[in-house]
Amino acid sequence: MIQTPIVWPNGARCACAITFDVDADSLIHISRPKDGFDRLYPISMGRYGPTVALPRILDTYRRLGLKQSFFVPGWVVEQYPEAMDLIQEDGHEIGHHGYLHEDPTNLSDAEHRYWFERALEAHKKTIGNTPKGYRAPVYNASQGVIDLLVDNDFLYDSSLMADDIPYRIHTAKGSLVELPVHWGTDDWPPFAHYSEIDYMMPVAGPSRGLEGFWEEFEAQYEHGGFWMAIWHPFLTGRLARWTLVERWLETILERGDIWFAPLHEIAEHVNNQFVRDNQSIRVEELPYYNQPVHLGAK
């Protein structure tokens, strides 16, 4: 049971967001820097996202009147500006997702700052977008990442996993809203089959692969919580899977008491409720640790 449920707008029982990480073919270039440019199958698999799946997803959102969030690496913003324009034209949010999907924990602070700022510049220069939210590639946020977000006046992060519902993270530098993720609502485990990055799980059929998402939703709906899917257009945007998503959306929207919103609106609502009544929003103090934890003799 959720101990301190958030009061959602307009009497909604549950807040929901479908977020897409539009990684495109950045994944093969970052994982195989020497020859990824000539690996045609993974390039084509990634390109399916912004060129084929994204228009399909946006058509569904337009028909159902939904505004949602997309997290896009800066390189993908530069490589696929027409796709980014389609997202923005329909009023959706585009968030920061690194530059070439680089893992922040594999970089020095100086290196990460460089790529973080380069991605920001790509957003601003290519599509005139100033992101309000961030999702770390592979969810690998570090304390340096959180400090960069505060330094750059980000509203929220969506990389951590410390609760079922939104909470706030406080550091010595400032505060952010955390909109928590979890592998249980990520499409990578059921649908990704990607030998180039050493991920070779069996691919689930559409119904079986999506079943867990619906079960997670029903639990959040029962307890008045927050459900968020973390999907990739080249995975869940494929035809059979998206057809099932579309039918599911049509069904649950008939309930009339679910608030679908882009993440920046959900984060703003959480902030407003924290100002009104800070006892209803849980706070996590960061950093968790200041040094490595070792086993040793007493």
The helix or strand, by DSSP H or E, that contains position 167, with its residue range, turns out to be strand 167-170
Per DSSP, helices labelled H in the chain are: 26-31, 40-48, 54-64, 74-79, 81-89, 109-122, 143-151, 188-191, 206-223, 239-253, 263-276
How far from 135 is each of 69, 192, 232, 275, CA to CA, in Å?
Answer: 11, 19, 13, 24
Tell me whether residue 118 is in a domain: yes
| Structural domain includes residue 198 | yes
Mean pLDDT, range 34-61, rounded to an integer: 95
Whether the predicted model's global pTM rises above the 0.85 cut = yes
Query: Does some domain include residue 286?
Result: no
* Domain hosting residue 183, numbered range: 13-281
Q: Please state, for a pLDDT cut of 70, what percent of the chain lies above it.
A: 98
Domain-located, residue 297: no
Of 29-38, 106-115, 179-188, 189-198, give the lowest mean pLDDT range: 189-198
Give the pLDDT score at 192. Answer: 92
Q: What is the predicted pLDDT for the residue at 278? A: 67
Q: What is the mean pLDDT of residues 140-147?
A: 95
Assess if residue 298 is contained within a domain: no
Query: Mean pLDDT throughout 258-275?
Result: 95
CATH of the domain at 122: 3.20.20.370
In a domain, 54, yes or no: yes
In the chain, the number of structural domains is 1
Any domain includes 220: yes
Dihedral of the CA atoms 245, 249, 252, 257 (nearest 10)? 140
Is residue 223 included in any domain, yes or no? Answer: yes
- The model's confidence at residue 297, banded by pLDDT at 50, 70 and 90, is low
pLDDT of residue 127: 97
